[in-house]
Amino acid sequence: MKKGIFVLFLALLLAGISAQAQPVSKGLKVFISVDMEGICGVINWDETSQGGPDYPLFRKLMTQEANAAIEGALAAGATEILVRDSHGSGRNILPDLLRPEARLLRDWTYGPLSMMEGIDKSFDAVIFIGYHARAGTPDAVLKHTMTLSIYDVVILVSGDQAIAQQAKELFGEVEGVIVKEAIATAAIMLSPARAQELIRTKTTAALKRLKDFKPYKLNPPYTLEVVYTDEAMAVKASWIPGAVRTSARSVSFTSNDFMEMLKLWRLARNVG
């Protein structure tokens, strides 16, 4: 896939769930997936890892950005909100500081939904906070490809300018909250307070125009191509049932079954 695993996998996952958006007046059920690399202020890997000297600060800011999205959703009429801690250990958001109107899903189930565990057709909208661009993207903060994101209607993504642009390329005019602008491996940052204000106001604005968004859907069959950095990993992955070797460092899978693709992805990314 020319746009890489990030775009392909988001498209595959979107194809697995579609539900019509409900009017704001009926009350909204909102799913918020929160990663850490795209949080305002984050620029180095040790800031996102347990044991890093500044990790306590940035997990607090991660929690505050989640709260900003919760507050924006509540202002737009949300009556049920689930926050999924989607970074690293899955235990980064500080439960005692999270807004009590939301429920929090922590840690990993090791199922195929991963960063979107807990999603189903009953949700009206999905918000991504603190997300990052795919591997190989120039001028992007802590870009990498290991994202499992299943959602109904994407309305807002926050992070740097690169993930905002990639989201628009795939999903159209979703709201993008740019909290930092990358220059090579550096970035110009907003203040955390300003970033949280933007997340709050744009979340409300996006939910109030929910009827403008439509689920992005692909028709089966689905094809997933995985390109490895090491040829040996492609050799190992080629033994997975259904795998087709497409180059020295890549394999592909094709199926009409969305959940089968998710399972194959988990196998393929764990061959090392």
Catalytic status, residue 132 = no
- Angle at which helix 55-75 crosses helix 192-208, to 10 degrees, equals 30
Of 144, 168, 249, 266, which residue is the catalytic one?
144
State the Cα–Cα distance between residues 157 and 110, nearest whole angstrom: 24
Asked if residues 152 and 119 have their Cβ atoms less than 8 Å apart, the reply is yes
Given the structure tokens 């740019």, which residue do they identify?
178
> N- to C-terminal Cα distance for the chain?
22
Q: Where are the beta strands (DSSP E) in 142-190?
A: 154-160, 175-183, 186-189
Alpha-carbon span 209 to 202, nearest angstrom: 11
For residues 113 and 17, give the distance between their C-alpha atoms in angstroms, rounded to a whole number: 12
Let me know: does 132 contact 160? Beta carbons within 8 Å: yes
- Alpha helix stretches (DSSP H) within 217-257: 231-237
The owner of tokens 């949700």 is 123
Residue 253 parent element (H or E): strand 250-255
Q: How far apart are CA 24 and CA 194, in angstroms?
A: 26
Q: CA–CA separation, 31 vs 207, rounded Å?
A: 12
CA distance 118 to 112: 11
Residues forming the active site: 144
